[in-house]
Amino acid sequence: MAYGFLDPLSTPSVQAAQTANGARKIWERFDGDRASERFTPSEAAFIGDRDSFYLASVSESGWPYVQHRGGPVGFLKVLDETTLGFADYRGNRQYISLGNTAADDRVSLILMDYPNQARLKILAHMEARDLAADPALADRLADPDYKGRPERGFVLTLEAFDWNCPQHITRRFTGPEIETVLTPLRRELAELETQNQALRAQVAALTDARR
């Protein structure tokens, strides 16, 4: 049965907090949080444009652990409408997320589009996969132009997702995003400078002819 992002999160303590802050009736009546258990083309396109995300897992001590994951644009792959995957490259070798998900596979992801002030939240079950034993998966998760050799793959089975309110998202831009804007401006400036030099040459020629 399809359900919304808030369903597994609306615990008694969360409901009590909503009640204490006068918001419980809003969410009791809310029916816009439905059928978020399958990615649509909109989510797939958004995910494919990302070069990073935040991943939260829960340790056996009960402490949450949030990790930043980054890579080339599109390194988080939409394998199908309910499955994501990404190659896991060697980092600081603490393996906290790997260990956490071996004990409890529940994770939460936040994907940010800072320039457009958009945010996608995902609940999923994450499993480590041996890429050497699954060449087909290795091919699907590969980023040929990215330096580094993956140690494993991670496959995430979607539980639910939610598009979050854009309020309070500060706009930020990456170097390539800034270059996308600056490149045509630099080209226009170069053309104007060329035209300016040509005009200066014409003025100089006219001045010399009048002498």
On whether both 55 and 91 belong to a single domain, the answer is yes
Q: Give the mean pLDDT of 158-177.
A: 89
Segments forming the whole domain that contains residue 28: 1-32
Q: Determine contact, residues 103/169, Cβ cutoff 8 Å.
A: no
On whether both 41 and 85 belong to a single domain, the answer is yes
pLDDT at position 177, please?
85
Q: How many domains does the chain have?
A: 3
For residue 48, give the nearest of 165, 143, 151, 150 by alpha carbon: 143
On whether both 19 and 66 belong to a single domain, the answer is no
On whether both 98 and 143 belong to a single domain, the answer is yes
On whether both 125 and 180 belong to a single domain, the answer is no
pLDDT at position 1, please?
34
For 71, the token pair is 């890579």
Return the percentage of the chain with pLDDT > 90, whole number: 67
On whether both 188 and 87 belong to a single domain, the answer is no
Query: Does residue 28 register a pLDDT over 70?
Result: yes
On whether both 118 and 76 belong to a single domain, the answer is yes
On whether both 118 and 179 belong to a single domain, the answer is no
Query: Does residue 41 register a pLDDT over 50?
Result: yes
For residue 52, give the nearest of 73, 35, 25, 38 by alpha carbon: 73
pLDDT at position 62, please?
94
- Rounded CA gap, 123 and 49, in Å? 19
On whether both 145 and 179 belong to a single domain, the answer is no
pLDDT at position 91, please?
83
Q: Determine contact, residues 43/162, Cβ cutoff 8 Å.
A: no
**CATH code at position 152:** 2.30.110.10
Q: Each residue of 119-137: pLDDT tens digit?
A: 999 999 999 999 999 999 9
Average pLDDT, the chain: 91
What pTM value is reported for the model? 0.81
pLDDT at position 34, please?
53
Q: 3-state class of 117 per DSSP?
A: coil
For residue 90, give the nearest of 156, 49, 51, 147 by alpha carbon: 147
